[in-house]
Structure 1
Amino acid sequence: MELKRVVVTGMGALTPLGNNVDDFWANLVDGVSGAGMITNFDASKFKTRFACEIKGFDPTAHMNTKEARKLDRFAQIAVVASDMAVKDAGISSENVDVDRVGVIFASGIGGLITFQEEVVHFANGDGTPRFNPFFIPKMILDIAAGHISMRHGFRGPNYAVVSACASSTNGIISAFDTIRLGKADVVLTGGSEAVISAAGIGGFNAMKAMSERNDNPQIASRPYDKDRDGFVMGEAAGVVVLEEYEHAIKRGAKIYCEIAGGGATADAYHLTAPHPEGLGAKNVMIAALKDAGMRAEDIDYINTHGTSTPMGDGAEVKAITQVFGQHAYKLNISSTKSMTGHCLGAAGVIEAIACINSVIYDIVPPTINHFTDDPALDPNLNFTFNKAEKKVVNAALSNTFGFGGHNACVIVKKYIA
């Protein structure tokens, strides 16, 4: 069968760099760090006391207090991001068939804050099981997709995707496939994560995965720098509206870009560490290029997974040089996690939004906080250190890799009628 074209017609985001897409993009281009000392809870006794939090978010500005209490923070920000995306795309029951509008939404962890609160409440009690009746519906990670569909009345395919830090990229790929196979006209997709809590910070500290630069948080996330010492936790929600091309044209929608292809692979190697030669990363980029019917030379920018961990950054760079060969030295590479921190299950979608804006505006956002070259990384690659670069970006590739060896990659390209 002939696969349908899929375009992006709407976006919404809540991030450490801004509570809408425009502010998020402007701060990315300006090289702003979203890091600061944790305010979500008292982190004074933790090894890491800073993170990239969403600033100034009040759920009751977007929903009534009773409704807000029924949602974990990860679902609250998901719903608000969906509101932005729906408004941006201009979709309503008047111009779409709601039975053919789906929601495929992701999270790596889901309602960890709710889980922690309920267990602590029980442990501090007298042993009598007094749990919030919304405990389970607030905690389960599929509930964000459910709330989004109920809020907007969308009755098409509806489910959650989870693959750790690759979750929302896999969600985008699933939405892409659903539309190009003709199973829906429109799909809201993306992901959210909000685990800046005692359990979240404590758990990742115990793994020794996070930076401990408490004296200067804003320069702690430093992908590809010789002295990188781990990632910085972030929280975010992002939604992109994917739409079948002819459907979008028929309703007169604005079109941001086209989804070209996606790939998914497994390292089959280690619980948390990447394959040292970047095998899974190599294979997923090859798979995405094949799916898109594109050559390596067609890619102008790679938004890397680039978490600022000693092992992960090196493995991804090896994979890029293997896949792209000599073209690797002509394209731009950057890690926007240097500014947003690592937003776990939401990382893929906000980095896809960064790629979409790169394609729209022909700007590559930087990798900030570079101070010392790492001799183990090829110095001839263009990591777009510290300053954004103007460049024609016809196609951009976004990489995300998750614990368990999950790899996902999506390619976006300029829209040509």
Structure 2
Amino acid sequence: MTAGVVVTGLGLVTAAGVGTEPTWRGVCAGAATAATDPALAGLPVDFSCRVPEFDVRALLGRRATLQYDRFTQLGLIAAQEAVADAGLDPATWDGTRVGVVVGNGVGGAGTWETQHEQFRDNGPEMVSSLLMPMLIPNMVAGHMGIRFKATGPNLVTATACASGATAIGVARDMLRQGVCDIVLTGGTEAAVVPLIVTGFSRMRALSNRTESPASASRPFDAGRDGFVIGEGSGILVLEREEHARARGARVRARLVGYGASADAYHATAPDPAGTSVERAVRTALADADAAPSDVDHVNAHGTSTPLNDLAEATVLTRCLGAGPAVTSTKGVLGHTLGAAGAIEAALTVLTIENGLIPPTANLESQDPEIDLDIVAKEARRGRVDLALSNSFGFGGQNVVLAFAAG
């Protein structure tokens, strides 16, 4: 019999707030967080969804301001909350049975920019000796292992904007195979820096609503014109169900399905036929031993780009019909790139727990080509027994996670 995998802890750091509670409140209120960003002043697109100011020293210690890039800081803060939420104590657990799998798309973008400026303006002697450990993407998982005394498998997944969801799927497989009893998993990203934003802008991937940033991210809306870049982290504690039940843990939800595929179509554009996305959806359902009619809710990838939203909607209609209530929380939080899949997985767990589906912010006029039941204007109450969380990334990488009530 395949081992069950459950979610016992959640940690979130997003533009809606530092912590799960403020994030959940903001998402359920549909309160868009996009605002003009002083760090992006002078760029064609000068707004973002940035995490509110927080005291790094108070949350992580004095050295954190010097040793960790922001993407690592966000990941560690979310992980601390998730571990505490799960009722776990790293001082007492068997670290050899605890793994870490974290998704990240860009790595230490802020460190890269600031240290390049030092090199260019002041010479090589002024480059930090900590450049490499702050920059490289795997260090967020490495530092989680150090901080939480987790000596099991330790890695970072990089599947662009599907990275966080891929990490959760890989963690699930580790638990099913008996490699670990506990895995800290999810995603983190802090790429709201001028060079990265300029790159997306040059691709015409970003919304240009500079006159009204708060209304710029509008998934599935007829007037959508691109995504709004954000930052954040979502970390989940996954456990083998047997292990969690034995220690009397609170089970927040069960991770029952995982489907992954590649479009093999285009570097950045989704395959309009959606063949591989459909396969990921159907694989996740088969893994969950569920029928399409069993799905109550979909937390969609829903980036607010013209091509992605239509392609995803077409596949969801083909696979699931018009039955499930669909939402995209990117209308509130923006697109957090490699962290998005993990943040949205955590929000899907909260939706199941609370019987409350957050609204899709800024959905004023649904695209007439999109035939889905999209939750808009206000959160919708209703029992959710099975939900899907979709994530897609550049390179045509697709991940679908299926969560069920605990």
TM-score of the aligned structures, taking structure 1 as reference length: 0.95
| 3-state SS in 1 of match to 2:160 | coil
Counterparts of 1:81-96 in structure 2, within 5 Å, are: 81-93=78-90, 96=93
Return the letter of the residue paired with 2:298. I
Provide Cα deviations, 1:140-170, integer angstroms capped at 9, x if missing partner: 1110001011001111111111100000000
Question: Is structure 2 residue 279 aligned with structure 1 residue 283?
Answer: yes
| 3-state SS in 2 of match to 1:353 | helix
Q: Is the 8 A contact 2:57 2:63 kept in 1?
A: no
User: Which of 242, 245, 251 is the aligned partner of 1:249?
Assistant: 245
Deviation at 1:93, TM superposition (A): 4.2
Counterparts of 1:251-270 in structure 2, within 5 Å, are: 251-270=247-266
Q: Is the 8 A contact 2:164 2:340 kept in 1?
A: yes
TM-score of the aligned structures, taking structure 2 as reference length: 0.98
| 3-state SS in 1 of match to 2:51 | coil
How far apart, CA to CA, are the structure 2 residues paired with 1:173 and 1:95? 27
How far apart, CA to CA, are the structure 1 residues paired with 2:62 and 2:308? 42
Q: Which residue of 2 aligns with 1:411?
A: 402
Provide Cα deviations, 1:168-221, integer angstroms capped at 9, x if missing partner: 000000010100111100000011000111112111111110001111111100
How far apart, CA to CA, are the structure 1 residues paired with 2:349 and 2:263? 27
Q: Is the 8 A contact 1:302 1:334 kept in 2?
A: yes
Provide Cα deviations, 1:342-384, integer angstroms capped at 9, x if missing partner: 0000000110111101110111111111122322222xx2111
How far apart, CA to CA, are the structure 2 residues paired with 1:95 and 1:318? 49
User: Which of 356, 359, 366 is the aligned partner of 2:359?
Assistant: 366
Deviation at 1:128, TM superposition (A): 4.0
Provide Cα deviations, 1:110-139, integer angstroms capped at 9, x if missing partner: 1011111111211123x5454211101001
Counterparts of 1:214-233 in structure 2, within 5 Å, are: 214-233=210-229
Q: Which residue of 2 aligns with 1:383?
A: 374
Q: Is the 8 A contact 2:145 2:151 kept in 1?
A: yes
| 3-state SS in 2 of match to 1:124 | helix
User: Which of 234, 239, 260 is the aligned partner of 2:230?
Assistant: 234
How far apart, CA to CA, are the structure 1 residues paired with 2:181 and 2:116? 42
Question: Is structure 2 residue 116 aligned with structure 1 residue 119?
Answer: yes
Q: Is the 8 A contact 1:106 1:142 kept in 2?
A: no
Number of aligned residues: 406
How far apart, CA to CA, are the structure 2 residues paired with 1:15 and 1:76? 12
| 3-state SS in 1 of match to 2:374 | coil
Q: Which residue of 2 aligns with 1:75?
A: 72
Return the letter of the residue paired with 1:386. K
Deviation at 1:399, TM superposition (A): 0.3
Q: 1:373 to 1:66 in 2, by over 3 A?
A: closer
How far apart, CA to CA, are the structure 1 residues paired with 2:214 and 2:7? 32
Return the letter of the residue paired with 1:116. E
| 3-state SS in 1 of match to 2:140 | helix
User: Which of 93, 98, 118 is the aligned partner of 2:95?
Assistant: 98
How far apart, CA to CA, are the structure 2 residues paired with 1:64 and 1:264? 38
Of stretches 390-399 and 113-122 in structure 1, the one that deviates more from structure 2 is 113-122
Unaligned runs of 5+ in 1: none
Q: Is the 8 A contact 2:207 2:216 kept in 1?
A: yes
Return the letter of the residue paired with 1:282. E
Question: Is structure 2 residue 345 aligned with structure 1 residue 352?
Answer: yes
How far apart, CA to CA, are the structure 2 residues paired with 1:221 and 1:31? 12
Unaligned runs of 5+ in 2: none
Deviation at 1:278, TM superposition (A): 1.8
RMSD between aligned residues: 1.2
Return the letter of the residue paired with 2:127. F
Counterparts of 1:391-406 in structure 2, within 5 Å, are: 391-406=382-397
Q: Is the 8 A contact 2:91 2:149 kept in 1?
A: no
How far apart, CA to CA, are the structure 2 residues paired with 1:372 and 1:3? 44
Q: Is the 8 A contact 1:95 1:251 kept in 2?
A: no
Return the letter of the residue paired with 2:399. A
Deviation at 1:64, TM superposition (A): 2.9
Counterparts of 1:285-304 in structure 2, within 5 Å, are: 285-304=281-300
Question: Is structure 2 residue 152 aligned with structure 1 residue 149?
Answer: no
Q: Is the 8 A contact 1:164 1:344 kept in 2?
A: yes
Provide Cα deviations, 1:239-296, integer angstroms capped at 9, x if missing partner: 1000011111111111101001101100100010000122222111011111111111
Q: Which residue of 2 aligns with 1:52?
A: 49
How far apart, CA to CA, are the structure 1 residues paired with 2:309 and 2:9? 31
Q: Is the 8 A contact 1:364 1:388 kept in 2?
A: yes
How far apart, CA to CA, are the structure 2 residues paired with 1:278 and 1:129? 51
Q: Is the 8 A contact 2:257 2:401 kept in 1?
A: yes
Of stretches 230-239 and 51-60 in structure 1, the one that deviates more from structure 2 is 51-60
How far apart, CA to CA, are the structure 1 residues paired with 2:345 and 2:13? 14
How far apart, CA to CA, are the structure 1 residues paired with 2:137 and 2:90? 27
Return the letter of the residue paired with 2:112. F
Deviation at 1:297, TM superposition (A): 1.1
